[in-house]
Amino acid sequence: MPESAPPGPGPLVRAADLLGPVDVVAPALLGCWVVTDRPEGRVALRLTEVEAYSGQGEDPASHAHGGPTPRAEIMFGPPGRLYVYFSYGVHWCANVVVGPEGRGSAVLMRAGEVAVGEQLARLRRPAARVARDLARGPARLTQALGIGPEDRGSDLLDAGSSVRLHRGDPPAAVSAGPRVGISKAAELPWRFWETGAPSVSVFRAGGKPRRRGAGQDGPP
């Protein structure tokens, strides 16, 4: 008998699903689907790795640590908005705003497994030699999905949005460890990933100091 097709995106995630503490919501997003619809086609992937960043005054590694600045105001809600930022002047990263409005928490989407639109994802990611590398890391994930600055503030919970977050089957096992590329609060085990998933990004410990120019920001 032919193998059954892998399950696809479920219903849209609800705002109520995102209202818990960020370190509880973040691992619950593993297995969820991120779907982008563009004129050139659709790409959908299952999240296999995420990273939590807490709200104002609680997490010195977070962009929201200093309050709702013009850069970070989207992080303060409502939940389900897409926070997109330019990282180190090199690439775009995408985050799901979570927690009650005004909290300032977000979950960085670090890696995923492309299941729909692989050909389009490969056109966007020509350097990827194998499928597991298409969205293996936060910059690669946004490239594969075609997410950029024009998507900043998109409502991931709106059926009419071109970028959406859908429920999916949770992984059989979840691992946790230190966050990547930061120098503050690096001891928090707030990076979560699907245990054994080949698309999980390669871990590089610690946050090496980098020179940052205008508009160059690390993890949120």
Q: Is residue 23 part of a domain?
A: yes
- The β-bridge relationship of strands 105-116 and 191-194 is unpaired
Q: What is the mean pLDDT of the chain?
A: 89
Contact between residue 145 and residue 134 where contact means Cβ atoms under 8 Å apart: no
Kindly report the three-state secondary structure assignment for every residue of 84-109.
EEEECCCEEEEEEEECCCCCCEEEEE
Judged against a pLDDT cut of 50, whether residue 153 lies above it is answered with yes
DSSP secondary-structure letter at 220? -
DSSP secondary-structure letter at 72? T
Number of helical H runs and strand E runs in the chain: 3, 8
The pLDDT score that the predictor gives to residue 214 is 31
Q: Is residue 122 part of a domain?
A: yes
Q: Is residue 2 part of a domain?
A: no
Contact between residue 99 and residue 25 where contact means Cβ atoms under 8 Å apart: yes
User: Token pair of 4, please?
Assistant: 């059954």
Q: Is residue 201 part of a domain?
A: no
The pLDDT score that the predictor gives to residue 69 is 86
Q: Is residue 200 part of a domain?
A: no
Q: Is residue 7 part of a domain?
A: no
Q: Which residue has the higher pLDDT, 77 or 154?
A: 154
Give the pLDDT confidence of 59-76 residue by residue, as tens digits.
988 989 888 888 889 999
Contact between residue 151 and residue 84 where contact means Cβ atoms under 8 Å apart: yes
Give the pLDDT confidence of 93-129 residue by residue, as tens digits.
999 999 999 999 999 999 999 999 999 999 999 999 9
Judged against a pLDDT cut of 60, whether residue 30 lies above it is answered with yes
Q: Is residue 220 part of a domain?
A: no
Q: Is residue 28 part of a domain?
A: yes
Mean pLDDT of 146-159: 97
Judged against a pLDDT cut of 70, whether residue 213 lies above it is answered with no
Report the percentage of the chain scoring pLDDT > 70.
Answer: 88
Instruction: Give the range of the structural domain holding residue 124, as residue numbers without chain letter.
Output: 15-194
- The β-bridge relationship of strands 41-53 and 191-194 is antiparallel
Judged against a pLDDT cut of 60, whether residue 3 lies above it is answered with no
The torsion angles phi and psi of 15, rounded to 5 degrees, stand at -55, -35
Q: Which residue has the higher pLDDT, 47 or 187?
A: 47
| Tally of domains within the chain | 1
The enclosing domain of 118 has a CATH number of: 3.10.300.10
